[in-house]
Amino acid sequence: MTNVAEKMSMDELLSAFSVCAVANISDNLDRAVGARGIRAFHNGGTMVGRALTVKAAPGDNTYIYKALEILSPGDVIVVDGAGYDDRALIGDIMANIAESRGAAGMVLDGAIRDVDDIAIRSFPVFARSVIHLGPYKGGVGRVNVPISIGGMPVNPGDIVVGDADGVVAFNPDIAAELLQATRAQKAKEAEILTSIANGTYAGASYSQ
């Protein structure tokens, strides 16, 4: 069925998802898609972009630097660091490099450092944990390959959305349909909140 969302360009879709809550997107992915244990460390705001994936050796940021060399504006650098948290994969310098080159954000299944500096900036950085110990160098890895972060598969070019609730990723092929469903849920929840406020809420016909 043809609809307005299906006619949207990728840039328009990304812009539309930038005002969608991750929780609502996740609900419309059967409540089954999401990165467990990954949280925001930056100063608020929603992240949305295309996945530039990195498979990194645990605690080693060599291939994150390689990703920085090839990223395009609007990419989200998504790093499978195997959840290793004994070494920080990035700090404020790498976050600044990524932002200066047009990245839409960074998501790391691993640790970061310099969190005070990251926390006062709006550039999106999501990670599993914090440690002051710096990264290893010279390890093996790959860029632009299928990965997994927090149990969530991520493929190169997937749309990645993150907010204070966490991170979700999905194939662009389903983006138009997912956007419609997410918008419909947001509208329904707004109706419920209005009915609660004015005392006409009739019961749990819709539940989170």
30 φ/ψ sector (left φ>0, alpha ψ -120 to 50, else beta): left
CA distance 188 to 174: 21
CA distance 181 to 191: 15
Predicted confidence (pLDDT) per residue in 178-191, tens digit: 999 999 999 999 98
Q: Is the pLDDT of residue 117 over 60?
A: yes
Domain residue spans in the chain?
14-197
Residue 105: strand pairing partners = 76
Query: What does the pLDDT average to over 76-104?
Result: 98
Query: What does the pLDDT average to over 33-43?
Result: 96
Per-residue pLDDT at 6: 58
CA distance 198 to 180: 27
Dmax (CA) of the chain: 62
Query: What does the pLDDT average to over 119-133?
Result: 98
CA distance 182 to 177: 9
Whether domain 14-197 has CATH 3.50.30.40: the reply is yes
Residue 161: strand pairing partners = 48, 168
